[in-house]
């Protein structure tokens, strides 16, 4: 697993000549900052400033983001070890997690894919949610009823993405399809 | 953005001729058939060019046995063997969608452009 930064999307040609939409991710270099019994902590990104407590933890490494990952073989890692994009190769299946784009207050049509009502013929129920429950029994709205509200800006994981190309010198991974979030988004990349 | 531009630039093909909407072009593409590769030509009028940089595509239309056939090619596709400009046309639109409604001779005819001074690059 690695931490990475989403750079944006473009398209490349496959060997067969097909156009493949890809997300370009700057993956690594990451550094192992701590080794625990069953997990390792990984740091990524150059930090401009490191405060005293952080500097004590990181020693010489100056990283911006820290993230702990569960691993089966934690003893195989050493503090300060460099992890780079060459962990992955073309054809690998990935799992990518990140923070999705915040959509603000969104209605039920956009947030929960409710159907909308007719737009004409006297209808006024264009995008309203409709009924939110029964009558006197139960006499309240069920917990967890899907309604409008804040959408996005939450952790999203996309599974089964494919690595199209890895550029080791630049630490770039080209992933087929889209990954969560806007450009410059911090991503966790796992081998699926 | 810089890195993405580099990735896109690396896919640019050289030797793509300059052509415009209204030109008649002959696109020779490679086709895989039963493990063998052969070439197939598609000749018609360019109705539009769209997209930027190396993502650009163009739409070619021709009439086959009275039926209009359109194909979209990515300009930098490795499957395109070569593009030849057969005729250059004189048009007043950027997108020639009106050609779809034309029948008979009008559907395949475009007034030929006078020889323009060739622009560098393009």
Residue A74 has pLDDT above 90, yes or no: no
Residue B119 has pLDDT above 80, yes or no: no
Report phi then psi at A54, rounded to 5.
-65, -45
* Residues of chain A above pLDDT 90, percent: 58
Best residue in B3, B10, B51, B52 to probe A by mutation, most A CBs within 10 Å?
A: B3
Least CB–CB distance from B4: residue in A8, A17, A19: A8
Residue B115 has pLDDT above 70, yes or no: no
Collect all residues with Cβ–Cβ distance below 8 Å to A92 and sequence separation of at least 6: A162, A163, A191
- Residue among A15, A18, A41 at smallest CA distance from A30: A41
Could you tell me which chain B residue has the CA closest to the CA of A7? B1
Q: What is the pLDDT of residue A108?
A: 95
Least CB–CB distance from B55: residue in A8, A11, A172: A11
Establish if B31 belongs to a structural domain: yes
**A171 near A28, Cβ under 8 Å?**
yes
Q: Is B91 helix (H, G, I), strand (E, B) or coil?
A: coil
Least CB–CB distance from B7: residue in A17, A19, A24: A24
Contact between chains at B77 and A172 (C-beta distance less than 8 A)? no
pLDDT, tens digit, 9 for 90 and up, residues A8-48: 999 999 888 889 999 999 987 889 988 888 899 989 888 88
Report phi then psi at B97, rounded to 5.
-65, -25
Q: What angle do CA A59, A62, A68 make, to 5 degrees?
A: 80
Q: What is the pLDDT of residue B3?
A: 86
Say how far apart CA A6 and CA A23 lie, in whole Å: 7
Q: What is the pLDDT of residue A82?
A: 86
Contact between chains at B79 and A19 (C-beta distance less than 8 A)? no
Say how far apart CA A62 and CA A43 lie, in whole Å: 8
Contact between chains at B77 and A7 (C-beta distance less than 8 A)? no
In DSSP terms, B25 is beta-bridged to B44, B85
Establish if B116 belongs to a structural domain: no
Establish if B120 belongs to a structural domain: no
Collect all residues with Cβ–Cβ distance below 8 Å to A175 and sequence separation of at least 6: A22, A23, A25, A94, A96, A161, A162, A163, A164
Contact between chains at B77 and A26 (C-beta distance less than 8 A)? no
**A:66-105 residues touching chain B, CB 8 A cutoff:** none
**B45 near A47, Cβ under 8 Å?**
no
Cα distances (angstroms) measured from residue A129 to each of A43, A59, A105, B13: 44, 54, 14, 52
Least CB–CB distance from B11: residue in A12, A16, A170: A12
Q: What is the pLDDT of residue A16?
A: 85
* Residues of chain A above pLDDT 70, percent: 100
pLDDT, tens digit, 9 for 90 and up, residues B41-70: 999 999 999 998 888 999 999 999 888 999
**A163 near A173, Cβ under 8 Å?**
yes
Q: What angle do CA A69, A75, A78 make, to 5 degrees?
A: 80
The average pLDDT across A54-76 equals 85
Contact between chains at B4 and A174 (C-beta distance less than 8 A)? no
Residue-wise burial string across B81-118, b where 16 or more C-beta atoms lie within 10 A, e elsewhere: eebeeeebbebeeeebeebeeeeeeebeebeeeeeeee
CATH code of residue B57: 2.30.30.790
Q: What is the pLDDT of residue B73?
A: 94
Least CB–CB distance from A10: residue in B8, B30, B78: B8
Touching check for A20 and chain B: CB below 8 Å? Answer: no
**A:29-48 residues touching chain B, CB 8 A cutoff:** none
- Parent domain of B10: 2-107
Establish if B115 belongs to a structural domain: no
Establish if B122 belongs to a structural domain: no
Q: Compute the nearest-CA separation of A171 from chain B (Å).
A: 11
| Number of domains forming the structure of chain B | 1
Q: Compute the nearest-CA separation of B34 from chain A (Å).
A: 14
Counting Cα atoms < 13 Å in the Cβ hemisphere of A149 gives 4
């Amino acid at each position: 697993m690695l931490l990475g930064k989403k750079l944006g999307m473009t398209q490349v040609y496959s060997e067969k000549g097909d156009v493949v939409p890809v997300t370009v991710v700057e993956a690594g270099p990451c550094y192992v900052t701590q080794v625990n019994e069953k997990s390792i902590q990984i740091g990524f990104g150059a930090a401009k400033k490191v405060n005293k407590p952080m500097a004590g933890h990181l020693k010489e490494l100056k990283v911006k983001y820290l993230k702990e990952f569960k691993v089966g073989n934690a003893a195989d890692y050493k503090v300060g070890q460099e992890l780079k994009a060459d962990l992955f190769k073309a054809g690998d299946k990935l799992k990518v997690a990140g923070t999705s784009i915040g959509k603000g207050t969104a209605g039920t049509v956009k947030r929960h894919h409710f159907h909308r009502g007719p737009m004409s013929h006297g209808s006024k129920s264009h995008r309203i949610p409709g009924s939110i429950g029964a009558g006197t029994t139960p006499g309240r709205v069920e917990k967890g009823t899907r309604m409008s509200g804040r959408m996005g800006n939450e952790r999203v994981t996309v599974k089964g993405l494919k690595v199209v190309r890895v550029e080791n010198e630049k630490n770039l991974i080209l992933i087929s399809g889209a990954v969560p979030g806007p450009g410059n988004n911090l991503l966790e990349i796992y081998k699926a | 953005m810089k890195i993405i531009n580099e990735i896109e630039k690396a896919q640019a093909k050289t030797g793509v001729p300059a052509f415009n909407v209204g030109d008649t072009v002959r696109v020779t593409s490679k086709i895989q058939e039963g493990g063998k590769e052969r070439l197939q030509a598609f000749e018609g009028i360019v109705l539009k060019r769209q997209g930027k940089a190396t993502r650009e595509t163009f739409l070619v239309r021709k009439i086959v046995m009275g039926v209009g056939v359109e194909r979209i090619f990515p300009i930098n596709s490795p499957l395109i063997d070569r593009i030849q400009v057969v005729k250059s046309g004189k048009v007043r639109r950027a997108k020639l969608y009106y050609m779809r409604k034309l029948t008979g001779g009008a559907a395949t005819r475009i007034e030929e452009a006078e020889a323009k001074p060739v622009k560098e690059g393009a």
